[in-house]
Chains A and B, each alone.
Chain A
């Protein structure tokens, strides 16, 4: 096995560029999935099955099919429909949409965990529907929702390399480009492998601290 530290040094500037794109995709993808997931979760609680049923079927479908193929679908089909986004935007939409089908279950569990008495109290105080949700239910659900949402954010981080396949130059894309130009595969791929381990480990530590704070 040969390990060339010079190659690592040469790769580092590209690595930082890639990291920036990865973190950008992660931040926007998380934001999208967290908000869309809440929308799905609330739609699943509407009284008419004409809303619940289609939302349930579509999210179930998205959850059980590969993100990679969904990404290709969006990347090649959206332009045909006249919606031209940049590769990075398409990737963020794909990740956000895919993970929103997971986060909706987190929200559902969080909302269901709010004791029934809270609903009854809101009714007894004749709060409006909007007030019931924003002032009573959601603030209590958020505490239970944050740790699992954080876990999904870490999963999303680990799925960002998929964006490489639609020409986004995130960490893995940068590594591949560098490898092809310099014929050095070992160092760049190993560097980003280690980077993923370090980032997800730090993120899980951060999450554990956050969890401890929220539970108090």
Chain B
């Protein structure tokens, strides 16, 4: 590959990363707002938030992208810059998945913690901010890590709309070189490296957050690994011919 083509690929990487960061921020905001709304004491608020989740999880991300790019400008007269249109479609869709993570983690906090907050006369907002979220957020990180990787994979969809992200530049380079296998292998490797970096960052974040509330993720992980070794050991004996 020539330098010019590599430059094209790098530009694609940059667009992908930008889109990933922007839509991850939007998705995180949506996740927390909708997820917290789903634990609200008013039934109406819970219903609206649940409805949002069902609708946006129910559609396909690509259909959402089509809708934002084609229907929004015609039907409502909102012509968005491609970057924002992509951010909007991806952020709203993956935010709906994220809201389930937030809801699950909030519900998983020991009920006694909430009762303690009530006994101490905290307002609902104080309970959420000072008691529930600090304990729930570290538990969300592994799920959010998976979701961000799903989002990274989702960003490739905007190339269908002609946005110059990594998948799009891959197609351009393929047309220039006629070396499909080579080009796509490189591009898949780049995506894999980005996903790997995300995993590392999220793991570091989890460690920091868990240390902040006096929990050590290290011991949990080794315990889990030990358990896995034990079970696979037994399975391996039977799985010899499998």
Smallest CB separation, B20 vs chain A (Å): 12
Does A207 touch B at the CB level, under 8 Å? no
Q: CA–CA, A131 to B228, complex, Å?
A: 24
Contacts of A112 in B (CB 8 A): 228, 231-232, 235
Question: Contacts A2-B75, A72-B170, A186-B75 given: A193-B191 contact, CB under 8 Å?
Answer: no
Contacts of B170 in A (CB 8 A): 69, 72
* B52-84 interface (Cβ within 8 A of A): 54-55, 57-64, 66-67, 70-71, 74-76
**Stretch of A6-14, A27-35, A59-67, A84-92 contacting B (4+ beta carbons < 8 Å):** A59-67
Does B171 touch A at the CB level, under 8 Å? yes
Asked if B63 and A161 sit within 8 Å, CB to CB, the answer is yes
Question: Contacts A46-B239, A193-B67 given: A65-B74 contact, CB under 8 Å?
Answer: no
Smallest CB separation, B239 vs chain A (Å): 4
Asked if B180 and A186 sit within 8 Å, CB to CB, the answer is no
Nearest A residue (CB) for B156: A66
Q: Chain B binding site: helix, strand, loop or mixed by DSSP? A: helix
Contacts of A190 in B (CB 8 A): 67, 71
Nearest B residue (CB) for A113: B231
Question: Contacts A47-B236, A69-B156, A77-B184 given: A193-B242 contact, CB under 8 Å?
Answer: no
Q: CA–CA, A64 to B197, complex, Å?
A: 11
A-side interface size class: 35 or more
Q: CA–CA, A116 to B63, complex, Å?
A: 45
Q: CA–CA, A75 to B152, complex, Å?
A: 22
Asked if B58 and A45 sit within 8 Å, CB to CB, the answer is no
Q: CA–CA, A158 to B241, complex, Å?
A: 36
Smallest CB separation, A190 vs chain B (Å): 6
Q: CA–CA, A189 to B14, complex, Å?
A: 30
Contacts of B149 in A (CB 8 A): 64
Nearest B residue (CB) for A60: B192
Question: Contacts A64-B192, A65-B195, A112-B231 given: A73-B180 contact, CB under 8 Å?
Answer: yes
Smallest CB separation, B226 vs chain A (Å): 13
Q: Chain A binding site: helix, strand, loop or mixed by DSSP? A: helix
**Stretch of A142-150, A195-203, A208-216 contacting B (4+ beta carbons < 8 Å):** A195-203
Asked if B62 and A161 sit within 8 Å, CB to CB, the answer is yes
* B167-200 interface (Cβ within 8 A of A): 167, 170-171, 174, 180-181, 184-185, 187-188, 191-192, 195-196
Does A70 touch B at the CB level, under 8 Å? yes
Contacts of A72 in B (CB 8 A): 167, 170-171, 174, 180, 184
Does B240 touch A at the CB level, under 8 Å? yes
0/1 string, B35-58, CB within 8 A of A gives 1: 000000000000000000011011
Question: Contacts A42-B242, A64-B192, A190-B67 given: A69-B174 contact, CB under 8 Å?
Answer: no
Contacts of A172 in B (CB 8 A): 60, 62-63, 66
* A150-179 interface (Cβ within 8 A of B): 157-162, 164-165, 172, 175-176, 179
> What residues of chain A have their CB less than 8 Å away from a CB belonging to chain B?
1-2, 42-43, 45-47, 61, 64-70, 72-73, 76-77, 80, 111-112, 116, 119-120, 122-123, 129-130, 132-133, 137, 157-162, 164-165, 172, 175-176, 179, 185-186, 189-190, 192-193, 196-198, 200-201
Some 11 contacts from A to B, beta carbons below 8 A apart, are A45-B232, A65-B192, A67-B156, A77-B180, A77-B184, A80-B180, A132-B238, A133-B239, A176-B66, A186-B75, A197-B54
> What residues of chain B have their CB less than 8 Å away from a CB belonging to chain A?
54-55, 57-64, 66-67, 70-71, 74-76, 149, 152-157, 159-160, 167, 170-171, 174, 180-181, 184-185, 187-188, 191-192, 195-196, 228, 231-232, 234-242
Give me the 7 closest cross-chain CB pairs, A-B, nearest first: A197-B58, A45-B239, A66-B156, A76-B180, A64-B195, A158-B60, A42-B242
